[in-house]
Amino acid sequence: MLRKRAVKVHPGQQRRARVQTKSKRFVQKVMGLCAVARPCGDFDGRIGMYRCAREKVAQRRSKFHERGDVCDEDCDVEAHMFHELVTEKLIPDIYTKMADFDIVFVQMDGARPHVKCMDALNAAGKERKRIDGKQAPMIKFVLQPANSPDTNLNDLCFFRSLSKFVQEHEREIEHSAANKDEFWNLMVEQYHEYHDRERLQRCWVVKTAVTKCILDANGTNNYKPPHGIKHEEPISFDLSLDLDDANDRVARTLDYEGLHASLPSSLPR
């Protein structure tokens, strides 16, 4: 026998509607690639969000689309799919939005699809093109230290900030396969509308403070997260990188429990 659960609501508070889903074990979801950078000059730090999906032509007519319509079909992110997303969407956006930089570091975690196509991505990033009379920046892909998500801005605070704004409107969308496009459009809207230059700058201040705590702990995970962060200056040190045509001060190499990794940064021209 089914029973209705009592929900306590405070005066002036509205009861939140339940999210409709067919199964709580298999909740509909979408996956995407998100890229942000430190705001600098006229650049606001937003590069783009790209859905991990392929275009598919509908073979049959249904209540969701007509026959012959082109729709997005979500797919697993394997090495070929990730390489296609980066080379066809991320790299062109970096060339367009970060044209005033000499070199751009793209930091990724150690997921298997990322590791498999590292050499191919670095080869594609070394091609310096001229766009609208300007030389495009060199793009170098680096892996973050293992088991250290706090060194990644997205994992540290950006995804939490994005989730906060998305959850305010998430319950307005019914969880079904037909509404995946609507949910993804909501994600992209919150990404561009609410995460302006000021919010992204605060995220980078948090990341800088956490990085300094990691350095104080000699690169180990035994550090205390900072609280009450107001302002932190970016970390900059002298070093030389094994690049073909540049030996500038562009990053800092850290030793995380015997693993050498580069924290990305970019210097404008």
The sign of the torsion formed by the CA atoms of 90, 95, 96, 101 equals positive
Could you tell me if residue 15 is inside a domain? no
Find the domain containing 81 and state its range. 32-263
User: How many whole angstroms separate alpha carbon 78 and alpha carbon 54?
Assistant: 13
In the block, residue with structure tokens 């950078």 = 37
Are 28 and 35 in contact, with CB atoms under 8 Å apart?
no
* pLDDT tens track for 242-268: 444 343 333 343 333 333 333 343 333
pLDDT given at position 17: 60
Q: Is residue 23 part of a domain?
A: no
pLDDT band, residue 93 (cuts 50/70/90): very high
pLDDT tens, position by position, 38-50: 888 888 889 999 9
Q: Is residue 36 part of a domain?
A: yes
CB 148 within 8 A of CB 221: yes
- What are the start-end ranges of the H helices in 91-179? 91-97, 112-116, 118-125, 153, 159-170
Comparing 95 with 22, which gets the higher pLDDT? 95
Q: Mean pLDDT over all residues of the chain?
A: 77
Cα 181 to Cα 34, 44, 89, 219, distances in angstroms: 17, 26, 19, 41
pLDDT in tens, 162-198: 888 777 776 666 655 567 888 888 888 888 888 888 8
Q: How many domains, the chain?
A: 1
The answer to whether residue 93 is domain-embedded is yes
Q: Is residue 198 part of a domain?
A: yes
Residue 4 lies in a domain: no
54-75 pLDDT, tens digit per residue, is: 888 888 887 777 888 887 888 8
Domain for residue 8, yes or no? no
